[in-house]
Chain A
Amino acid sequence: MILPLTYNFRNLLVRKLSTVLTLTVVSVLVLVLTVLLSFAAGMHGSLAASGSGRNVIVLTPGATAESTSLLTPEEVGRVVQTPRVARSADGQLLMSQELCVQSSIPRREPEGFTANVGVRGVDDAAFDVHEGIELVEGRRFTQGAPEVIVGRAAQERYANLHIGGSLDLGRLSNRTFRVVGVFTAKGGALESEIWAPRTIISDVYVRPLVTSALLRMESPGAVPAAIEYINGPTVKLQAKSEPAYYDDLATTSRQIVFLTTVLVVIMAIGAVFAVANTMYSAVDGRRREIAMLRTIGFSRAAVVTAFVIEALLVCVTACGLGLLAGQLVDGSRQDYLSDQTWTVLAYESKATPQVMITALSVAVVVGVAGSLAPALRASRVRLIEALRKA
């Protein structure tokens, strides 16, 4: 039988200072954990939303991203032979040759600052091959015209990207493009990009080759064979499923998760000591009370449970406070510079249920780890000695 919760709760109120200090330490731990994991989850979610299981991306062997890949027309000619590539309604193979470049564009805020934005030169086929691209304002660009469409996230971040606005692109930023449309891409990385006609981008950046080719397969089941074919001796290029490609790009989010883990472990150790310190002082201050409880029939297990519950009350409350504070950044739009594409990608911080469960788990582990030793000490109080008047 466990002691009533009111016993634990009131005992915490009696030790206000140490309770508040422990509450603060664990709250900060949960806050840091929630914020960092929300960033990582948003970042990873943005990249994970970018790929289609039916698409295969083709790059130069050894390239880790489109920014470091170049495909010659001969290589593209070999890619076209890949079996089971889907066809459009008018019988065209669904392959999109794309040229990705970076361009420095002024930010909306702070004024006067620029950021590297991905500019993707595409043909009309791109709209059939990329999944989830939806024009939400304006119209598509016209092939051969200096026009662009911009991703929603890019429009929110960079200056002058409203419909009718203009921006200078090109190797010497010497060509003005007009914004004619805004698109979304299910919140994925493509929404941070600017798309323009490939031929014009090739011209203004003096880049005659494409950086990648994207194939839309007949079905997801056709993807492994296509990858094997392209990686094989016939084509001798590098192919990945599109989700795998974006997952590989998510190194930054993985680094954040790793650093968060290291940071949280260090902070959690500190929090465990804070909880242990509080609980040891609680045990020492209540030795006679514990002895009385044991004398009237409460088992050692009941005493251990009482002290663990007391610590958990603090830690779970602190977890609630930390998660609440973490809501201040939940849903906030963030940027990060991908070390793979060298462009700024936008993402939305997401306190996913998994993040919350992780935070709660950490708080519970801290509570149990911090209270177990003091609770065991409490259960081993020598009854007769403790009951005697001091």
Chain B
Amino acid sequence: MGAAAIELTDVRKVYRKNRIEIPVLEGLDLRIESGTFVVLMGPSGSGKSTLLHLIGGLDQPTSGRVRVGDYHLEEMTERELTTWRSRHVGFIFQMYHLVPVLTAAQNVELPLLLFRMSAAERRERVRTALSVVGLEDRMDHRPNQLSGGQEQRVAIARAIVTDPEVILADEPTGDLDAQTSEGILNLLNLLNTDFGKTILMVTHDPKAAAHGQRTLHLDKGVLERDTMHAPRAAAAASVN
């Protein structure tokens, strides 16, 4: 077993709405080793997105501990979490969330603006990230000039451009057709196998789940099943 990149201890998350407490996660214990591709599955409302948000430092647990790398997120202030996110996590969203007025290269460059880095170095990093996702020739295209799959690739390039240890993907193929989804999932496999990224992906799609090495099934805030399986053969052979 490798070093734990992510460790949750007795994590509980309760939302309050109109004075009513809605428990979403109930005493969750979880350990994810560095460099694994983990898939989170479960019905709507099972708590998988909440778990992703807690690991991504977008939300704080009601109780329990969330450690990512050397950082205990439950002890950090909002400002510290904001800085931490920029340096240690890459986010991929279902709806890509690209800035429509910026080009692909400018979108990918956004996280780098938070680092002390020369413009030349930023350009080089952007070019590298876009070449990893196969969109080097689309650098100057705006999101409305790209297909859905290409937009998601740009979003992936944005997620990896700072070279984070962890990539969190919230239904990254939820808005794409099967063929395009396959390309995106292969790309995530590539990031996992060739670049050693720890990936946590939320999905409803069992085919997408097959790309991971481990699948966690959540239901009503409880970890129901934890399945290990072999990574898809030659998943990273083609990312197109």
Binding site for B on A (CB under 8 A): 1, 3-4, 6-7, 10-11, 13-14, 288-289, 291-299, 383-384, 387, 389
State the CA gap A6–B93 with chains docked (Å): 24
5 further interface pairs, Cβ-Cβ under 8 Å (given A4-B113, A295-B58, A384-B59): A4-B106, A7-B101, A292-B99, A294-B82, A297-B85
Closest-CB distance, B57 to chain A (whole angstroms): 9
Interchain CB contact under 8 A, B59 and A289: no
Of B53, B85, B99, B101, the most chain A CB neighbours within 10 A belong to: B101
State the CA gap A306–B95 with chains docked (Å): 23
Interchain CB contact under 8 A, B85 and A296: yes
Closest-CB distance, B173 to chain A (whole angstroms): 14
Known: A6-B102, A10-B101. A296 touches B110 (CB 8 A): yes
Shortest Cβ distance from A13 into B: residue = B101
Interchain CB contact under 8 A, B86 and A292: no
B97 contacts partner chain A, Cβ-Cβ < 8 Å: yes
Closest-CB distance, A148 to chain B (whole angstroms): 69
Interchain CB contact under 8 A, A10 and B85: no
Shortest Cβ distance from A297 into B: residue = B86
Interchain CB contact under 8 A, B102 and A7: yes
Interchain CB contact under 8 A, A387 and B97: yes
The 4 closest A-B pairs by CB, nearest first: A297-B86, A10-B101, A292-B97, A296-B111
Annotate B100-115 by CB proximity to A: 1 below 8 A, 0 otherwise: 1110001000110110
State the CA gap A298–B113 with chains docked (Å): 9
Closest-CB distance, B37 to chain A (whole angstroms): 21
State the CA gap A291–B102 with chains docked (Å): 16
B17 contacts partner chain A, Cβ-Cβ < 8 Å: no
A297 CB contacts on chain B under 8 angstroms: 82-83, 85-87, 111, 114
Known: A289-B97, A295-B85, A297-B87. A383 touches B113 (CB 8 A): no
Interchain CB contact under 8 A, A288 and B102: no
State the CA gap A182–B58 with chains docked (Å): 80
Interchain CB contact under 8 A, A298 and B101: no
A291 CB contacts on chain B under 8 angstroms: 97
Supply 7 A–B pairs (Cβ within 8 Å), ascending by A: A4-B106, A6-B102, A288-B97, A296-B110, A297-B111, A384-B59, A387-B93
Interchain CB contact under 8 A, B114 and A298: yes
State the CA gap A292–B94 with chains docked (Å): 12
Closest-CB distance, B71 to chain A (whole angstroms): 14
Interchain CB contact under 8 A, B158 and A296: yes
Interchain CB contact under 8 A, B58 and A384: yes
B19 CB contacts on chain A under 8 angstroms: none
State the CA gap A13–B100 with chains docked (Å): 12
Interchain CB contact under 8 A, B114 and A1: yes
Closest-CB distance, A360 to chain B (whole angstroms): 27
Interchain CB contact under 8 A, B95 and A389: yes
State the CA gap A14–B143 with chains docked (Å): 14
Interchain CB contact under 8 A, B106 and A384: no
B16 contacts partner chain A, Cβ-Cβ < 8 Å: no
State the CA gap A3–B158 with chains docked (Å): 15
B158 CB contacts on chain A under 8 angstroms: 296
State the CA gap A387–B93 with chains docked (Å): 8
Closest-CB distance, A380 to chain B (whole angstroms): 11
B79 contacts partner chain A, Cβ-Cβ < 8 Å: yes
Interchain CB contact under 8 A, B95 and A296: no
Closest-CB distance, B165 to chain A (whole angstroms): 15
Query: Quick one: which of B37-60 are within 8 Å of A by CB?
Result: 49, 53, 56, 58-59
State the CA gap A355–B95 with chains docked (Å): 50
